[in-house]
Structure 1
Amino acid sequence: MNPATPPPPPSSDAALRDRAVAAAVAQGLVSAADPVAGLLDVTGIRRSAAELRAAFAEFTAPGTPVLHAFAVKAASLVPVLRLLAREGLGCEVASPGELALARAAGVPPARTVLDSPAKTPAELREALALGIAVNADSFGELDRLDALTASAPTSSPLGLRVNPQLGGGSIDAMSTATDTSKFGVALRDEDARERVVQAFLDRPWLTRLHAHVGSQGMPLELMADGVRVLYELAEEINEKAARAQVGTLDIGGGLPVNFASDAVSPAYRDYTRLLHRTVPGLFDGRYGLVTEFGRSLLAKHGLVLARVEYTKSAGGRRVAVTHAGAQIATRTVFAPEAWPVRVAAYDAQGRPKTGDAVAQDVAGPCCFAGDLVARARPLPPLEPGDHVALLDTGAYYFSTHFAYNSLPRPGVHGYAPGPDGGVRWATVRAAQRVAELVAESGGAYGDALTQL
């Protein structure tokens, strides 16, 4: 895919985005000293959270407990997690670091879910001591939980992740329900389903089931089918246990994002309506629900803004060398067909750039030839001092920095409409300074190897 960037649509989000870019340039958030930054639309994030809650509330029976646990890996920034917590969301964490971020954001243990295929005994002990929900990823982890719960009773809700083995989507790396996926217990393997049922019958404290079939590139129908398999397994376990042992279904997240335009498609209501049609029993109140959406909550509400440092021509094609490359847009650079981004052009004052579109490469600062975020992209001719915005980058692009060439992590700033058409700002993360980068890279141990 190589989507052309259309003129900004006449939407309030796009208009606010343009105002935010101009204000970021005017206030020096992006400048010669700090030539790249991330910008987050706080109003848009709040709207997405509200739309998620409303979509499930429309179909669930009154009184059904529903926890929307934001996938922290999508935006591992404490202010973002706290904002989402204020909007009624919890956190899904997959490492000790992510758990620490959720706790720093004030997310209570009762609204936190721990997922990971490689939990250590120390991680499990911490989660069990705090009362955090844990989804075991394997029979081996269940054995570990047997020992830990026997020695120290816990209030943690405990579950098991299963892999429905339904197949993948268009991006292999995002497909977690393939026959050989590393995640969960593969249900279609020989004797696996029987072992799962028996594992629950042998462990009365095992009360949850979890499945997540994939994210970007996954058809909604395949996602819904995975939830159906999970529901049917819960029904089987409860029937054989002769009681409602499984009381909560964690259906994962992974709603795909449209990266081709400003349109939000699919919407949460599209997905919940499909779920209701595919698995009606999911919403009848007999099961509590947990979701783990990440990218779909934030992607549309963030952009990377970078200065154009140089322009040149190579092979008859214009090249704009910017400060946004593989260190921020890692997936886009290394897998551009799977992760294309829209690029918007702005002038030196941060105003939308005009002029007849010309095919241009938009390059980053990294020292390898493939560091391109767009190839032959039709854009108004860019000049040194102009700016480019990588759109739809509110998820992952700020939290998965690639430290190639020891480029520092950029600052991240949140914005919202201000009085008289202005823009209000809040610092989400300060830009990393070179001294901090040196310290992170062993600066305090400079003589360590020479002394051996």
Structure 2
Amino acid sequence: MTTTSAPLTRTDRRLLALTAAADRRLVDPMAGFVDLEGVREAVEDLTKAFAPLGRVQHTVAAKACGLAPLLRFLGELGIDAEVASPGETAVAEAAGLRGPRLVLDSPAKTIAELAHALAEGTAVNADSFQELARLDRLVGATPPRSVLGVRVNPQVGAGRIGDTSTATAGSKFGIPLRDHGNRGLLLESFAHRPWLTRLHVHVGSQGCPPELLAAGVAAVHELAEEINAEAGYRQVTSLDLGGGLPVDFTSDDPGPTYAGYVATLLARVPSLADGRYAFVTEFGRSLLAKSGFLVSAVEYTKFAGGRHIAVTHAGAQVAARTVLQPEHWPLRIGALDPGGRPKTGPEVPQDIAGPLCFAGDLLARQRPLPLLEPGDFVVAHDTGAYYFGAHYAYNTLPRPAVHGFTVSPRGDVGFTPIRRTQTLAELVADAGGEFLEAPPAG
């Protein structure tokens, strides 16, 4: 327990939570942790930064960490949800976010998904002209309860990571604005559908600088002005700005800030602050990454071919991007002693290996750390977005438990369950266990 008059920093809270988690044996053999106060601070930064834009509906991209208790917590802070599948929709609705508190985005929405969204009053961003034709049949002559819009690909180019850049010339997302004839077709689509009142843009996420995001927003704002001029009234009343603010994975610094991003937006399009449009945001990684971390026990160590190797339980099943594309998704790794305290001693290059049965299952390669031993722990920082929810079922490994935590001003740590460890019975069920008694085919 510590007593201090100064507010605890994110680093302070993390260190206290790590020792408390080790003391209470919550890492068995791996677990995720979410700093709930850190999430609250990120939400406060977001809402304060976007205040100059006036009417803003902030949503969290459910794909970033769509765990129901966390979505409920965010909902209580005033954050709605952006969903992109029936599963994400179901989880968000179970968490109390439904109807107008949801925005449905996906390039492959089924008729059933669209019908459910329209019945619930969920906002929908159509991803193609074909989807607009499908909406025509579903909407019919009755004015929809949902806010309906179109996702436009402004084709402003790629960021540093191609896989997360969604505004390239040949992206699968949205209607490509610069392709021959599409601008005119978009104007015509709005002219024939008075129930279309929103434009949506999402340029990309990690690796896309704020200036690239702002270029996409500028292109869609210009299109909205053109649509409204053609209509003779303000048909487009809101702009969905997407998300995608990148995160700094090399330090405790967050990276580009929301305030800095808004300043970039207003420098590019000053009229965004004139009150004529309402806005939607869909941030995920920037809201959650810095508030989460994964902790795994070190099960074994070995020395092979001149390399120190620590075998842990954190591999591609929880960190697929980091394992498969380490050049784009490196993580900071910390070494802890069995008490959950930072391990001391000379730093030695070590491979941090996961448990999966392929040689490349490495969380980090030749990372300088105090020499790890069985019973120690490793912590993977900045994993509050995507790492808890995007489980890779290789080797039928269970999804790990996730715990939220708070720390009192005196340093007392309280944990609350967000997800328990997946049981072996649940793994058997996922593997078709219910059909074991079925008669053999033929």
Range of TM-score over shorter length: over 0.9
Partner of 2:373, secondary structure, is coil
Find out whether 1:65 has 2:59 as its counterpart.
Answer: no
* Structural mapping, 1:18-417, within 5 Å: 18-30=15-27, 34-57=28-51, 59-60=52-53, 64-150=54-140, 153-417=143-407
Q: One-letter code of the match for 1:317? A: R
Taking the aligned partners of 1:419 and 1:313, their CA distance within structure 2 comes to: 43
Q: One-letter code of the match for 2:301? A: T
Count of aligned pairs between the two proteins: 436
Unaligned runs of 5+ in 2: 1-6
Partner of 1:124, secondary structure, is helix
Q: 2:3 is matched with which residue? A: none
Partner of 1:373, secondary structure, is strand
Q: One-letter code of the match for 2:366? A: A
> Shift of residue 19 of structure 1?
1.1
Please identify, of 412-421 and 174-183, the stretch whose mean Cα deviation from structure 2 is larger.
412-421
Partner of 1:178, secondary structure, is coil
Taking the aligned partners of 1:433 and 1:444, their CA distance within structure 2 comes to: 15
Taking the aligned partners of 1:248 and 1:145, their CA distance within structure 2 comes to: 19
Taking the aligned partners of 1:449 and 1:422, their CA distance within structure 2 comes to: 56
Taking the aligned partners of 1:171 and 1:148, their CA distance within structure 2 comes to: 37
Residue pair 2:144, 2:195 contacting (<8 A) in 1 also: no
Taking the aligned partners of 1:319 and 1:162, their CA distance within structure 2 comes to: 47
Taking the aligned partners of 2:108 and 2:374, their CA distance within structure 1 comes to: 47
Taking the aligned partners of 1:149 and 1:86, their CA distance within structure 2 comes to: 32
Normalised to the residue count of structure 2, the TM-score between the two structures is 0.97
> Shift of residue 12 of structure 1?
1.8
Taking the aligned partners of 1:395 and 1:320, their CA distance within structure 2 comes to: 25
Q: One-letter code of the match for 1:112? A: L
Taking the aligned partners of 1:374 and 1:312, their CA distance within structure 2 comes to: 15
Q: One-letter code of the match for 2:81? A: C
Percent of matched pairs sharing the same residue: 57
> Shift of residue 315 of structure 1?
1.2
Taking the aligned partners of 2:297 and 2:16, their CA distance within structure 1 comes to: 17
Q: CA RMSD in A?
A: 1.2
Please identify, of 34-43 and 417-426, the stretch whose mean Cα deviation from structure 2 is larger.
417-426
Residue pair 2:214, 2:268 contacting (<8 A) in 1 also: yes
Partner of 1:227, secondary structure, is helix
1:171-230 alpha-carbon deviations (Å, 9 max, x no partner)? 111000000000000011010011001100111110000010000000211110000001
> Shift of residue 448 of structure 1?
4.0
> Shift of residue 447 of structure 1?
4.4
Partner of 2:151, secondary structure, is strand
Taking the aligned partners of 1:444 and 1:231, their CA distance within structure 2 comes to: 52
1:247-280 alpha-carbon deviations (Å, 9 max, x no partner)? 0000100000000000111111010010011111
Q: 2:420 is matched with which residue? A: 430
Taking the aligned partners of 2:235 and 2:181, their CA distance within structure 1 comes to: 21
Residue pair 2:295, 2:377 contacting (<8 A) in 1 also: yes
> Shift of residue 152 of structure 1?
5.5
Unaligned runs of 5+ in 1: 1-9
Taking the aligned partners of 1:357 and 1:12, their CA distance within structure 2 comes to: 26
Partner of 2:140, secondary structure, is helix
Q: Which of 8, 11, 16 matches 1:14?
A: 11
Q: 1:6 is matched with which residue? A: none
